[in-house]
């Protein structure tokens, strides 16, 4: 079997990122805290007195905040952002486990694009954003920062990441120890673990003001293409079993995969976690916008 091309994950085009940031702006502003008494981290883009950064104009922005010099230079409306008394802090979590490298690394490419796009949009709005990549533990970290210059740091970190082809587990809970202070967390993972990584989600829920889980999935995850007696290998643990594959076995695999997603979705609904099952065939722009729209009523 051909090895997945883990180097084929590319950043979305700048024009795509800008369009997504404009569309997502009203969905990422004025986030509500998840629980009473949760601390709101200081500083975000708002309407205070201290100039913070620039971003593209979106409908509803005040005309008095337009920076006419930047507008003339960039040939599009640009507004000033200002520091206010409250802020949103976000951490993007990206799964590096071996299951993300399966099926031509389609899930990895989708998660990679989603993590980059969310980081870009949040930074455009003045939020502080950090990145954690996890497998058996935390593999890489880009500490929280703010502004367009920080996006370059996020991109550099993303550029170092590749899911291991074999032998790498998903230990989501390990990220909890790296979450310093309250903030929102968004996770890109296939959540392919016996418990759907629900214990890890529960641990992160205690350390975040809101939690987003996007389950990237390839239909091939639930498909057995071979027939007869075959050796099945768990790419994360290396465990092997011999099984007889027929139509009944294929149907059972598909049902178990669907049941895992149902259990994960139900857990998230009970826990106040914004959840989206993302078929990687769907464009990342559509998936993220729909997720953020639903999340407004969840967390």
pTM of the model: 0.77
Q: What is the pLDDT of residue 134?
A: 96
- Ordered DSSP codes for 154-182: HHHHHHT----SSS----GGGGGGG--SS
- The confidence score (pLDDT) of residue 238 equals 55
User: Quick one: CATH architecture of 14-32+86-295?
Assistant: 3-Layer(aba) Sandwich (3.40)
Tell whether the model's pLDDT for residue 69 goes beyond 70.
yes
Question: Mean pLDDT over residues 264-273, rounded?
Answer: 96
- Binning pLDDT at 50, 70 and 90, where does residue 298 land? confident
What confidence tier does 116 reach under pLDDT thresholds 50, 70, 90? very high
Q: What is the pLDDT of residues 164-196, one digit of tens each?
A: 888 888 899 999 988 876 799 999 999 988 787
Q: How far apart are CA 215 and CA 99, in angstroms?
A: 12
Which range, 7-11, 37-41, 128-132, has the best average confidence (pLDDT)? 128-132
Mean pLDDT over residues 112-120, rounded?
Answer: 98
Q: What is the dihedral of CA 36, 42, 48, 52, to 10 degrees?
A: -140
- The domains of the chain are located at 14-32+86-295, 45-85
Identify the pLDDT of residue 169: 87
């Amino acid at each position: 079997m051909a090895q997945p091309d883990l180097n084929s994950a590319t950043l979305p085009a700048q024009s795509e990122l800008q369009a997504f940031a404009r569309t997502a702006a009203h969905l990422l502003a004025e986030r509500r805290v998840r629980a009473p008494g949760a601390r709101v981290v200081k500083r975000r883009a708002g309407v205070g007195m201290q100039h913070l950064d620039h971003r593209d104009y979106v409908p509803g922005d005040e005309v008095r905040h337009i920076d006419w010099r930047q507008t003339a230079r960039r040939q599009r409306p640009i507004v000033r952002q200002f520091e206010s008394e409250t802020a949103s802090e976000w951490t993007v979590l990206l799964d590096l486990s071996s299951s993300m490298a399966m099926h031509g690394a389609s899930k990895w490419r989708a998660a990679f694009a989603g993590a980059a796009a969310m980081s870009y949009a949040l930074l455009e709005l003045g939020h502080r954003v950090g990145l954690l990549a996890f497998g058996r533990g935390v593999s890489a970290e880009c500490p929280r920062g703010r502004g367009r210059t920080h996006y370059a740091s996020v991109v550099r970190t993303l550029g170092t990441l590749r899911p291991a082809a074999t032998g790498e587990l998903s230990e989501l809970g390990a990220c909890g120890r790296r979450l310093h202070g309250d903030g929102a967390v968004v996770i890109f993972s296939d959540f392919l673990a016996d418990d759907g990584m629900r214990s890890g989600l529960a641990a992160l829920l205690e350390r975040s003001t809101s939690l987003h889980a996007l389950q990237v999935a390839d239909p091939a995850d639930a498909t057995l293409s071979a027939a007869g007696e075959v050796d099945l290998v768990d790419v994360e643990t290396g465990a092997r079993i011999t099984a007889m594959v027929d139509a009944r076995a294929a149907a059972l695999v598909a049902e178990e995969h669907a049941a895992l997603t149902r259990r994960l979705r139900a857990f998230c609904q009970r826990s106040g976690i914004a959840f989206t099952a993302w078929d990687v065939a769907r464009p990342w722009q559509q998936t993220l916008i729909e997720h953020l729209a639903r999340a407004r009523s969840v967390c």
